[in-house]
């Protein structure tokens, strides 16, 4: 559920609330846009015993999806460059 006054700015079937913004006060992301696919793969492999084969295999398969780090970076820059309320 979104916080009061929040605007949903990113979602997917897997993560219905992937990112939201509350005016010029808060910008929130569920994922880690700073993680490269290679880092994500290594992290999941390292935690395989803890999170399970099925979750790791699904996570690694998802790395074939386009990586949105540039779009997220633009969003962050726009947020911090915008005049305050």
Q: Would you say 24 and 34 are in contact if contact means Cβ atoms under 8 Å apart?
A: no
Q: What is the pLDDT of residue 40?
A: 95
For the beta carbon of residue 19, count every other beta carbon within 10 angstroms.
Answer: 19
**pTM of the model as a whole:** 0.73
| % of residues, the chain, pLDDT over 90 | 69
69: confidence class by pLDDT, cuts 50, 70, 90: confident
Q: What is the pLDDT of residue 84?
A: 67
Q: Can you name the residues that pair with 22 across neighbouring β-strands?
A: 26
Contacts of 30 (CB under 8 A, 6+ apart): 15, 17, 18, 19
**pLDDT tens digits for range 8-45:** 999 988 889 999 999 989 999 988 888 999 999 999 99
Closest CA to 79 of 40, 25, 41: 25
Biggest CA pair distance of the chain: 47
């Amino acid at each position: 559920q979104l916080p009061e006054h929040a605007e949903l700015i990113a979602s997917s079937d897997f993560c219905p609330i992937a990112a939201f913004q509350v005016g010029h006060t808060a910008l929130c992301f569920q994922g880690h846009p700073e993680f490269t696919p290679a880092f994500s793969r290594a992290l999941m492999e390292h935690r395989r015993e803890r999170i399970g084969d099925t979750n790791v295999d699904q996570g690694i398969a998802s790395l074939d999806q386009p990586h949105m780090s540039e779009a997220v970076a633009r969003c962050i820059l726009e947020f911090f460059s915008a005049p305050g309320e």
